[in-house]
Amino acid sequence: MSLLSSRLEPALQPVLDKVASRIPLHWQIKGAHAFQSVKKRAGKNRAVPVFREVPLPGVSTLALADIDVSNPFLYRQGLWHSYFKRLRDECPVHYQANSPFGPFWSITRYEDILFVDTRHDLFSAEPIISIGPQPEGLEIETFIAMDPPRHDQQRQAVQNVVAPKNLAQMEDLIRSRTAEVLDHLPIGEPFDWVQRVSIELTSRMLATLFDFPFEQRHKLAYWSDLAAGSPETTGGNADNDEGFRAAADMARQMSSLWREKEARKAAGEDMGFDLISLLLANENTRDMINRPMEFIGNMVLLIVGGNDTTRNSMTGGVLALNQFPDQFVRLKQNPDLVPNMVSEIIRWQTPLAYMRRVAKQDVELSGQTIRKGDKVVMWYASGNRDERAIENPDQFIIDRQNARKHLSFGFGVHRCMGNRLAEMQLRILWEELLKRFEAIEVVGEPEYVQSNFVRGYTRMNVRLG
Amino acid sequence: MGRITFVEHNGAKHPVEIEAGKSLMEAAVENGIPGIDADCGGACACGTCHVIVDKSWVESTGEMYASEEGMLAMTPEKTDTSRLSCQVTVSESMDGMVVHLPEFQM
């Protein structure tokens, strides 16, 4: 379904799809924005929850039915750990009937999460993988939120861009761009690691992956933050009107990037290994621009997928090594442990808290009956700390055995497509950090993102020695 | 005792003694064969224990379920004789079987 037709008669669909492919995408988004603004003034929009932060109660003071792990301040206030531990111990498959996002089930143990994640015949990823819906009028289609067989076709079309073969060709470039950032960091004076390292490196990576104008790379992080941060979707604090403007800007710029590369290909020029060039080289995807919602959906998915996740693991790793200083000593003595530590960082941080599904039929799980149509949230952040599956799960252990056996990438057909890229980026970062710095000291308390989905940092001061 | 031979992408050969009843993935991991990640520990849920079975031995690896086909479809180096080694049970009848490893696991 396209933006243009989403409110109209289904019978008109084929005609409208054809029209949609001929109207520039950014105009369609502007049109949808105008339509939503009119609806809002007429009081006809779906109610959007408003979140104001208050100190949350300790979990031991709450009745089980009142525990609401969708609260977007739980992570920031450091309470996620105790809330989820109580659910794992007392009510591992838990029903919350009255959250601001509506009723939902929480799956909190490792084995139950593995079950739900691998049974796409029982649990659908459609229409979206966040607890709440996407903003009205901005419902883009991405394969992370599609079931097989459609999911498989779309994913296969784009996955080669982050396949290990392609990554091997990019390693030197990523390393030199990482080195450049690290060589310009101040020694002995505090600076914001999030801004200067994590955001900078992930924006550079995305610009490389898309062959996006390098000097405008900050836009990629900005678009991503807006796409993942709407209040009704994840409890974030992104502004809806700003989100529409950003979506239109992104559509315009990504479409023109596509057209430029298409023209270069038609002129017989050598094509690179960037995403759009690969899509243009593939028979199934070379006309994707004529299917606007698929095109924009893939762009958004890859930008968001490659942004928050790696960014917050880059910050989380530094924080973990500060909370477990003996591990930093061991790391300096054994730099060969970097690849294993990277998996441990990704488990310890779990940069995305969950993925959501909808039950396709009634399912019995750990003594509860999940009804057809119910929302089911797989809390990876909880499963990664499940004492039943992982020994000493709250300890950060750089040479942990089976460190790769974490839930952060998900399991099953939706398993993170960029996992090898993420591991490579983090490995290169730590290899280059160890060559340069003796001490990486966190100064003061980090500041945290407001979200029930992204487990991340908005600021963390660090002093290098 | 029979043997199964794993062949790395660079051609290095690793013969492994057959222990009937184990999965092919366990046979590889327990014998330290490089190039098998098996991130999910054998749940047919990650696709990182991909192997390419020598054509003449495909039939002896047994039936493939839809869940395995679904995971293999996400593997860029998939071939007609690809299997997830965690889904193949080793038996004495596999004496002499040759299994190739892909260049990368994804």
Given a cut of 50, is residue B94 above it in pLDDT?
Answer: yes
Closest to A288 measured CA to CA, from A146, A141, A436 = A141
In a domain, A382, yes or no: yes
Tokens of A23: 């109207």
CB A381 within 8 A of CB A455: yes
Chain B residues within an 8 Å CB radius of A342 = none
Q: Is the peptide bond before A49 cis (omega within 30 degrees of 0)?
A: no
Q: Across the interface, which of A160, A411, A412 has its CB nearest the CB of B76? A: A160
CA–CA min distance A318, chain B (Å): 24
CB B75 within 8 A of CB B47: yes
Domains observed in chain B: 3-100 (3.10.20.30)
Give the pLDDT of residue A3: 47
The residue ranges of chain A whose pLDDT is under 50 are 1-9
In a domain, A40, yes or no: no
Report residue A210 CA to chain centroid gap. 17
If interface means Cβ-Cβ distance under 8 Å, which residues of chain B face chain A? 37, 39-41, 43-47, 67, 70-71, 73-74, 76, 103-106
On whether any CB of chain B is under 8 Å from the CB of A111, the answer is no
Inter-chain Cβ pairs, chain A and chain B, closer than 8 A: 57
**Domain, as residue range, for A445:** 46-464
Between CA A348 and CA A396 the distance in angstroms is 7
CA–CA min distance A218, chain B (Å): 29
Give the pLDDT of residue A47: 78
Tokens of A276: 């759009």
Chain B residues within an 8 Å CB radius of A405 = 39-41
Give the pLDDT of residue A402: 92
On whether any CB of chain B is under 8 Å from the CB of A165, the answer is yes
Domain count, chain A: 1
State the burial class of residue A76 (Cβ atoms within 10 Å of its Cβ: 0-12, 13-18, 19+): buried
Report residue A299 CA to chain centroid gap. 13
Could A411 and B40 be called an inter-chain contact, meaning their C-beta atoms sit closer than 8 Å? yes
On whether any CB of chain B is under 8 Å from the CB of A369, the answer is no
In a domain, A18, yes or no: no
Give the pLDDT of residue A4: 44
In a domain, A35, yes or no: no
In a domain, A23, yes or no: no
Chain B residues within an 8 Å CB radius of A412 = 45, 71
CB B90 within 8 A of CB B23: yes
Between CA A350 and CA A408 the distance in angstroms is 5
Q: Across the interface, which of A148, A163, A420 has its CB nearest the CB of B70? A: A148
In a domain, A8, yes or no: no
Scan for tokens 């029209």, then name that residue.
A19
In a domain, A36, yes or no: no
**CATH code, domain with A403:** 1.10.630.10
Interface predicted TM-score (ipTM): 0.92
In a domain, A1, yes or no: no
